[in-house]
Structure 1
Amino acid sequence: MSTDTMAGLPGQARSFAFLVHPRARLADDLGRVWRPLGAGPEGLYDLALRRLPLPPVTMASVEIAGSVLGHVVLVPFGARHLLGLPAEGRRRVGQAVDRAVRLGAATVGLGALTATVTGGGVALRGRGDIGVTNGNAFTAATVDAQARELLDGVLRSAGDRHVAVVGATGSVGGAVSALLARDRAVDRLTLVARSRPRLDALADRLGRQVPTTATTDLRAVADADLVVLLTASADAIIGPEHLAPGAVVLDATQPRNTSPALIVLRPDVTVVDGGVVDLPSLRLRGGDIGLPDGRAYACFAETALLALSGHDGHFCLGVPTLEQVDRTRELAAGLAHLGFAPAAPTSFGRPLPVGVPR
């Protein structure tokens, strides 16, 4: 990348690439690459992405502070394809990383289920030609900050702050649970996940800091004031029957695991978009990833933080350590003039009034 291209950014800044893939509805996300594709038949796209050896696509260039810093690369494999055909998914992610190398990226970030299918990037740790990060350290930092803000706003006068973390044994879920327990930001934690041995081990560890319950039953969130959703699924998993009256759901999943129908069926519930940060000067040229200019998913922002700080080599692979979470906070503080703070709360992309919930 030329010196002119990097004007206005820190002198050590390097180029990065960020991987994305079509999410729940293929036509919608393919239309972000080329608008006419948005009108195509869903069944045809499902068959084509599953069966055809489609190469990764450079769908957008990334501008920050008026300078081109990197690229967004589309992995042509849908959410259900990645989860249902993980070996093929890993192969296609590998091809996208190859493209990132050819684009001159020093770091590549794994967006959405490209992280899940590679074990949080662990399957890519042998790559010596590019640094890899799954973006989960700064995602955990951002979700933790959003959860605390919601707790302060929603339960300011309550004496029993009960938070449920769904997907607690995942890469982000484990870190967020540990952050909330570290300085007793909550009075009670309920951890929900599928893997009982890992879940019990996490609950035993965090239970030394704050009262903690571990369960594989989603119904256990029914009396939680705040539900933090950090699962990896192609479908919505939280329904109106799962939530307490007036509950707040912080959904930091991509593809998202809540449906807009939830707030229609349960108008007393507030769903807040999680893991989104402000980057006022951010512009994507050529396509978009479902957010307006000036906003980014925290995993994207982590990749940008590493590039802007001149980081060399891998960063967050697998479950982030709390030291890695704190490091991303330090990097964000050093680049605060560019943004990197949690975005004002939205619900399914629409602004929420001050003093969430409604």
Structure 2
Amino acid sequence: MTRTSFTFLVHPRTRTGEDLARVWRPLGRVPEKVYDTALRRLPLPPVTIAAVEVGGEQVGHVVLVPFGARHLLEAPAEGRARVARAVDRAVALGSGVVGLGALTATVTAGGASLRSRTDIAVTNGNAFTAATVERQARDALDRFVTTGGRRVAVVGATGSVGTAVSRLLARDGGVEHLVLVSRTAPRLAGLAAEVGARVPTTTATDLRAVAAADLVILLTASADAVLRAEHLAPGAVVIDATQPRNTSPGLLVERPDVLVLDGGVVDVPSLRLHGSDIGLPDGRAYACFAETAMLALSGQRRHFSIGHPGLDLVDRTRGLAADLAHLGFVPAAPTSFGRPVERAGVLEAGVAA
């Protein structure tokens, strides 16, 4: 197998200072308003913040796009320009594959704005994210849902990951009812007509509809927490696969009956980041990061997941993961806001405190 190297793109999330402190601790002392002004107005270059090691070998880099989550959502044209410069940085580093982390995928339309690049392969990481989240959803239904139902709500259903997850749940069965939630009603109707042929399906553009679900899969693109206590049924389980995440730890205080699981996280035991971390401990990665690494380790040199991945591409990532099973690339053991989950509804001490 001929390997290539990869670069994964990240950006500051909701609390810019907290994320930049991972690069250099004193940066955490700078007021948030200063960062907001600086990131908007200054032509800051992308920065290589970590080297990536898997299996004892350096296989890639992490590059920071100097534009925060709100900036990317509020100024997408400037965001695309900054992502493009970060891709240039990936090429300069000698990478064969670049992965679009978090909202760098959203602002480039899932990588569509980079499709013309011929100097590097691009992936948004959404195919393996969908595969991972669907497996986590089925595990949660079997292990953590105590209401006796198998009604699943997908919030952000018409997005790149949401569409694939909805199709997987419908294709592979085991779900009693699907509630598809999205702000884009025309796309929602089309997706519902497709998956509704396999499983009873309802649609909504309002988050209050998730009160009908035993399991809620959160796949939205927002800089803030969007799912609140009043939206959820008694005993509901939530899989939050968003970055920046769209649930708050305060939800567990308001609703101790609710379990919030961290979505889209995989185990790669030999993974080490030398430099800054990206919010996960050694040996764990977000599935979009893992997809980028798998492509590089497999010698991929063509664009992979751009826009909405089809189920054939999702299944292909599962095949790549199986080929690399000696390195891990399997869904991580369940956690809630980074803390291990012991059993249904009962978390390790301190999580819900």
TM-score for the superposition, normalised by structure 1? 0.95
Q: Structure 1 residue 185: deviation in Å?
A: 2.4
Aligned length: 347
Tell me which of 167, 179, 187 is aligned to 2:156. 167
CA distance in 2 between partners of 1:207 and 1:156 (Å):
25
**Residue 120 of structure 2, aligned match among 130, 139, 146:** 130
Cα distance in 1, alignment partners of residues 9 and 346 from structure 2 = 33
Give how far 1:156 is off. 7.7
Q: What displacement does 1:165 show?
A: 0.3
Structure 2 unmatched ranges of 5 or more: 348-353
CA spacing shift, 1:106–1:224, aligned 2, 3 Å? same
Q: Which residue number corresponds to residue 3 of structure 1? A: none
Distance 1:112 1:157 in 2: 32
**Superposed, which structure 2 residues align to 1:206-285 within 5 Å?**
206-285=195-274
Return closer, same or farther for 1:357/1:166 CA change in 2, 3 Å cut-off. farther
1:35-184 aligned within 5 A: 35-155=25-145, 158=148, 160-184=149-173
CA distance in 1 between counterparts of 2:176 and 2:312 reads 24
Cα distance in 2, alignment partners of residues 252 and 44 from structure 1: 29
Instruction: List per-residue Cα deviations over 1:301-324 (Å, max 9, x = no partner).
Output: 000000001011100000011000
Distance 1:349 1:157, change over 3 A: closer
Instruction: Name the structure 2 match of 1:286.
Output: 275
| Residue-by-residue CA offset, 1:141-166 (whole Å, 9 max, x unaligned) | 000000000011134893x4100000
Preserved contact between residue 150 and residue 356 of structure 1 (Cα < 8 Å) = no
2:53, 2:273 within 8 Å by CA — same for their partners in 1? yes
CA distance in 2, matches of 1:144, 1:104: 33
* Preserved contact between residue 154 and residue 357 of structure 1 (Cα < 8 Å): no
SS in 1 for 2:139: helix
Structure 1 CA distance for aligned equivalents of residues 346 and 174 of structure 2: 19
CA contact (8 A) 1:248 1:357 kept: no
Question: What is residue 25 of structure 1 aligned with on the other side?
Answer: 15
* 1:355 positional shift: 4.3
Partner Cα separation in structure 1 for residue 238 and residue 71 of structure 2: 27
The residue type equivalent to 1:224 in the other structure is A
Partner of 1:343: 332
Partner of 1:295: 284
Q: Distance in 2 between matches of 1:357 and 1:254?
A: 25
- The sequence identity of aligned pairs, in percent, is 70
Deviation at 1:40, TM superposition (A): 1.2
What is the Cα deviation at residue 39 of structure 1?
Answer: 1.5
Equivalent position to 1:199, from 188, 203, 206: 188
Alignment partners' CA distance in 2, 1:47 and 1:154: 44
Query: Which runs of 4 or more aligned residues in structure 1 lie more than 2 Å from their structure 2 counterparts after TM superposition?
Result: 154-158, 354-358
Q: Secondary structure at the match of 1:352?
A: strand
Q: Residues 21 and 76 of structure 1 are in contact (CA less than 8 Å); yes or no, is this contact kept in structure 2?
A: yes
2: CA distance, partners of 1:133 / 1:236: 26
Partner residue, 2:303: 314
Note the C-alpha offset of 1:183. Answer: 1.9
In terms of mean alpha carbon deviation, does 217-226 or 135-144 score higher?
Answer: 217-226
Distance of 2:146 and 2:164 partners within structure 1: 24
Q: Could you list the per-position Cα deviations for residues 205-229 of structure 1 after superposition, in whole angstroms to 9, with x for gaps in the alignment?
A: 1000000001101100012100000
Distance in 2, Cα, partners of 1:92 & 1:279: 29
